[in-house]
Amino acid sequence: MPQKSNKRLQAAKVKKETYDEIMTHYDATGDALIDREEAKSLIKALLKEEPDETEVDFMMKIGHDHDTITRQELPMALARMRAIRSERDYLHSMFAKFDVDENGALEAGQLKNLLTEIGEGSPPTDEDITKILNQADQNSSGAIEFTELYGAITVWYLNPADPNKRLSVGELLAEKGAEDKEDSKKDECEVKPQKSRYACVIS
List, for residues 109-118, the tens digit of each pLDDT value. Answer: 999 999 998 8
Which residues constitute the domain of residue 114?
90-180
Q: Does residue 137 fall inside a structural domain?
A: yes
Asked whether residue 175 falls in the same domain as residue 193, the answer is: no
Asked whether residue 175 falls in the same domain as residue 99, the answer is: yes
- Residue 39 burial class via C-beta count within 10 angstroms: exposed 0-12, middle 13-18, buried 19 and up: buried
pLDDT at site 40:
93
CA neighbor of 191 nearest in space, from 92, 33, 81: 81
> Model-level pTM?
0.60
Single-letter code of the amino acid located at 154: T
Is residue 196 very low, low, confident or very high in pLDDT (cuts 50, 70, 90)? very low
CATH code for the domain in which residue 175 is found? 1.10.238.10
Asked whether residue 137 falls in the same domain as residue 154, the answer is: yes
Distance of alpha carbon 32 from alpha carbon 96, whole angstroms: 41
CA neighbor of 41 nearest in space, from 191, 200, 203: 200
Q: Does residue 85 fall inside a structural domain?
A: no
List, for residues 11-48, the tens digit of each pLDDT value. Answer: 777 788 888 999 999 999 999 999 999 999 998 888 78
